[in-house]
Structure formats: C-alpha cells, structure tokens
Amino acid sequence: MPASLVQNESILAIDVGATMTRAVLFDVVEGQYRFVASGQAPSTAEAPFKDIGLGVREALTNLQNITGAALISTQDNSLIAPSQPDGSGVDAVVATLSAGPAVRTVVVGLLPDVSLQSARRLAESTYSRVVETLDLSDRRKRDRQMDSIVRSRPDLVLLAGGTDGGASRSMQKMLETIGLACYLMPEEKRPMVLYAGNQKMAADVKELLGNQVGRLQVSPNVRPSLEVEDLLPATHEMASLVMKLRERQIKGVDELSLWSGGNLLPTAYAHGRMIGFLSRMYQSTRGLLGVNVGASATSVAAGFNGDLTLGVYPQFGVGENLAGILQHTSMEDILRWLPLDISSNTLREYLFQKSIYPSAIAATRDEQAMAQAIARQALYLSVRLAQKNFPAGARGTRKDLLPALDLIIGGGGAISDGSSLGQSLLLMLDAIQPVGVQPVLLDQNNLLPMLGAAASRNHYLPVQVIESGAFIGLGTVISVIASASYGDPILRAKLTYADGTEARADVKFGGLEVLPLATGQTAKLNVQPLRRADAGLGPGKAGAIQVTGGALGVVIDARGRPLQLPQDPVRRRELMKRWSYAVGG
C-alpha cells in the first residue's frame, strides 16, 4: 500500500549505472517531498571490484557526508533502516540498475510480421542484444535452429506467438526446439525464458520448458489477438526477469534487491514507467518524450495519452559498446556533428580507446567535442528507431519528422554532462529534432528513473519532487519548419513579458534565436511566419503562444526540419560554432 505523506517517510533511491552509482535522498520538507541531496561514486560491477556493493557504499558515504546523517552502520557496514530517532537511516529504499553486459536475447515468434515483431519490440524494452530469431518462416532444419541457438549463448529467450486460444501446434514445435536447445547447454548457463504467447498453452510451456531453463516466467500474451498488441504486462515481467539474471551475473545485486524489498528495476524500465506516469498525470494530449543517453544504452520513452513506447538501445550506449556504434552508422555521420576539425582517424581511435575505459570522461575540449558528437549520433539513431514504434495516431504529419510533443526531458551522463546548459539543449535539439512548441527539461541528477522506481511505493513523491523544480527547465523551444534558403527571413517573433515589456526577433532560416525569459516566468509569444513557415501553429499561420521560461529562455530553432547540415566541412563547423554561441557557448 502506498505510504502517505503523513507517514513522513524518507526514501533512499539508488541507481547503479555502468559507470556511476548514485544515491539520492528524498524526504518530506514542509509537507512536500523534496530531492534533498545526491552522492555518487564510480560503479563497481566490473573487475577488479566485481561487487556493486562497494560502489553503492561509496555513494552512500558521499551522500551522508553531504547530509550529515548516517546511512551506513559503522558497526557492520549495513544500511540503517528504518530511520532512527537520532536522524540516521532511511525508511525505505528503491533501486534501479543498468550495469551489466547487454542481455543476449533469442526472440521467438510464429508469424514474422506479427508475434515476432511484438517479441522484438518487447526485447527493445530492456538492455537486450538480439542474437538469434526464430519464426515459422525459418526454413532451417530444426537441428540447425537448435545449434544456432546454442551457439548464440543466450541469457534470455523471449517466446511469443499465437493469439489467445488460437494456434497451438506450431507453438508446440517451437517449444520443443527451444527446450532441446536449452537441454544442450550446460545447466548453469541455461537461459531464462519469458513466455508471452497464447495463454492457453501456458501449462504446456511449463511442462515442456520448466526443467530445461534457468528460470521460466509466463506473462500475458503480447498479441492477444491479431489486431491488438499489449506489451505492458510482459515488459513488467521481463524487467523482473532481467533483474533475476543480474542477480546471477553480478555480485551485490541480491543485496540491493533485498534493501529495496524486491523492487529493484532496470533503469530504463523505471525511466519509461515515469514517462508513462507523467503522460497520464499531465493528460498530455500530444506526447511526452524522455531520452537518456547513458553508458549502458540510449533509451527513448514516449508517452502518448498514457500509453508508453519504450526503446532501449544498448548498441547506442556510450560506454563499453562505444566502438560497436560503427556497425550501425558511418564515421561521416558522427563527424558531421563535430564543431572542431578532427580527423576520422582520430575519432576512430577515440571510439576504440574509450571502449577500453568506458568510465573515463573528457578532460580536453577535443575529447568533449568527440563525446558530444557521438552522443548526438547515438541519440539521433535511437529516436529514429523508437519513432517506428510510436502508436499509429502519433507518427506526425510527415514520415521524416517527429510528431509534435508537449514536453521533452533529457538525462543520462552524455546529455547532463554537457559543459553548459546550452550545450545540453543543443545536443537534444540536434539529435531529436523536435517540431512545434514544447518546453525542454534537463534531468541533471538523473532522477527520472529513481522517481519511476519510487512511484510504485509512493505516488505523491514523483509529482511533488518534479513540481519542486528538481529538473532544470532549459526553456521553451519553437522549432520552425520552412522551405527556404540559408539567411532568408522566415519568422517575426515578439515576446511580451508579464510587465508589458517586449523583445523582438527577426528570425532567419538556418539560425537559432534566443529570447530571454527567466525560469518560472511566462510570457506571450506572437509569431508571424513568412514564406509559409510553420512555427507550430500550421504552415503560414500566425498567432500567440503562451511560453514558459527557463535557463536559456525561449529558443527559436529556425534551422529547418529535418536538420540539413552543409556538406562543406568548414562551413558546417562555422555554423555549429555559431549555433553553440547562440545558446551560450
């Protein structure tokens, strides 16, 4: 049962990332939940430490140094819970985890365009790397299929197929193939299996696979009928299964799970859950987008009318998988984002060297420029992949553009570690390329996944923490779509402040204009498009928009959609510097 505010419950949130571990304290201040403080330390899932508990305790020590209240017992190094009369300890713990290698996943369905696609989308909701697929169109002999599965060394098998009460014979064969393949693997290496197919077959699944796999979980069908896809319940089951897998793979995860009362969640899942929650709570009519570029993966969560679309892409994580990005994109596509003259050779060596030391950070301007360029491309590709799974009614007017959104929230080390807030915003604008009008928030302390984890325990906490200004409002962005040449005037804008004063801008195609509007203030923005430009009100339509302020104010992005960068590298770099300067350098 969710705790009430009256209980005055302090909540400790712990997030164990691939490179950093964060401990965050939420407590009730003047009747409202607040983000109190955060402590962090490098993660210790990897060698030589090989125990996440070390990093967690370091982060907790740093947190207690800030708050002055003890969290770790000096006697036995255990967490002090519940809180004590002397102010030490916490009442509850919630935890998220993204550390660990990508989950090697075999995806199985019946029809390639139906259940297999649903199973693939389910795989994309966590840190999966699909290493093998199987469906009815697979013409390989069954023994070849089995060998292929064995060779792929899966951690997880996702099984979908058959509408509820529908075909069972084909699924029976699939189950036999999977069961035999698992039987051929050493017992301690057998994968965990999530069955999310025809519910009528659940008993057969348990009988056929129960003794052959590492762990079997049955969830509601992801495809209860041909027309309906329902990933949400299976996504939840898979999140829990992945955490069980991590308990098997990484020392210390079991302790964290114990601290959190079994409510340990994959970070990306918790992030998605929060976006879905916010989308419902704020009754977002258009959509709400949350992006997170981290070491383990880049994740994209979109909430449309309360429905969540979650895409987790370990191939675009900026940690140990970094060099692998070259399997999905070209060097030129990363180089295009560089404001400095850096050779493709240097960038390539950077990618490989950074893969050796994923926790290292940029200490020089060149390295920072490369890190930001790679993060842009990783986010750009992830958003495009995620967009394919957006609900039919939310795919935008043009295939090459995103739908209009109500809000964008960015987080993760690669975004929040920008050298300035302007750089964080510019990275998101370049990669996401939103259209229309929306505020952009920066989750600088990466609180969103923690709030997602806390939401299951206390519904008030996330709302109150967000409303207390835990995120940095970067400002309101107006993205203009226009067909024009560089330098052509496309928009006249007038910002009328609450005190009646005005700021004006004649916006030219290819530029970024910033009108100051402080955080917490609202103002009226009058836009008058030229050349049938669309500033969010429709092509050529003028009008007034209520905008909210932020660290940067009101940002008019007149660079066009999709963003076209000049082919000439010198001109491109010059423009990028100009854009960077426009948002504060």
Which chain residues interact with another protein by CB under 8 A?
19, 41-42, 44-50, 54-55, 58, 101, 141-143, 146-147, 176, 180, 183-184, 186, 189, 249-250, 320, 323, 345-346, 348-349, 351-354, 356-357, 359-368, 417, 419-420, 423
DSSP string, 205-249: HHHHHTTTSSEEEE---S-SSSS----HHHHHHHHHHHHHHHHHH
- 522 with 498: CB under 8 angstroms? yes
Closer to another protein by Cβ: residue 370 or 515:
370
CB under 8 Å to 118, separation ≥6 — which residues?
109, 160, 196, 222, 223, 229, 231
Rank residues 49 and 460 by Cβ distance to another protein and give the closer one. Answer: 49
* CA 529/CA 24 separation, integer angstroms: 45
DSSP 248-271: HHSTTHHHHHHHTTT-EEEHHHHH
Q: How far is the CB of 564 from another protein (least distance, A)?
A: 28
Q: How far is the CB of 349 from another protein (least distance, A)?
A: 4
Residues 148, 178: Cα–Cα separation, whole Å: 11
DSSP string, 93-132: EEEEE--S--EEEEEE-SSTTTHHHHHHHHHTTTTEEEEE
Long-range contacts of 40-46 (CB under 8 A, 24+ apart): 42/359, 43/16, 43/17, 43/18, 43/19, 43/99, 43/359, 44/252, 45/16, 45/18, 45/99, 45/100, 45/250, 45/252, 46/99
Least CB distance from residue 142 to another protein, whole Å? 5
Please report how close the Cβ of residue 155 comes to another protein at its closest, in angstroms. Answer: 13
In whole angstroms, the minimum distance from the beta carbon of 350 to another protein comes to 8
H or E element, residue 448: helix 448-455
Question: Of the two residues 120 and 354, which places its CB atom closer to another protein in the complex?
Answer: 354
Q: Which is nearer to another protein, 359 or 496 (CB)?
A: 359
Nearest distance in Å: CB 240, another protein:
22
3-class secondary-structure state, position 388: coil
For residue 41, report the phi and psi dihedrals to the nearest 5 degrees.
-155, 155
Closer residue to another protein, CB minimum distance, 350 or 390:
350
Please say which residue, 141 or 399, places its beta carbon nearer to another protein.
141
Which residue lies nearer to another protein by CB, 352 or 581? 352
Give the integer Cα–Cα distance in Å for 65 and 88.
12
Nearer to another protein, 246 or 559 (CB): 246
Cis amide linkage into residue 82, ω under 30° from 0: yes
Looking at beta carbons only, is 69 or 181 nearer to another protein?
Answer: 181
Closer to another protein by Cβ: residue 211 or 468: 211
Q: Please state the closest distance from residue 537 (CB atom) to another protein, in A.
A: 37
Inter-residue contact 553 to 516 (CB < 8 Å) = yes
Nearest distance in Å: CB 355, another protein:
9
Nearest-approach distance from CB 415 to another protein, in angstroms: 13
Report in angstroms how near the CB of residue 78 gets to another protein at its nearest: 19
Q: Which residue has the tokens 């049962």?
A: 1
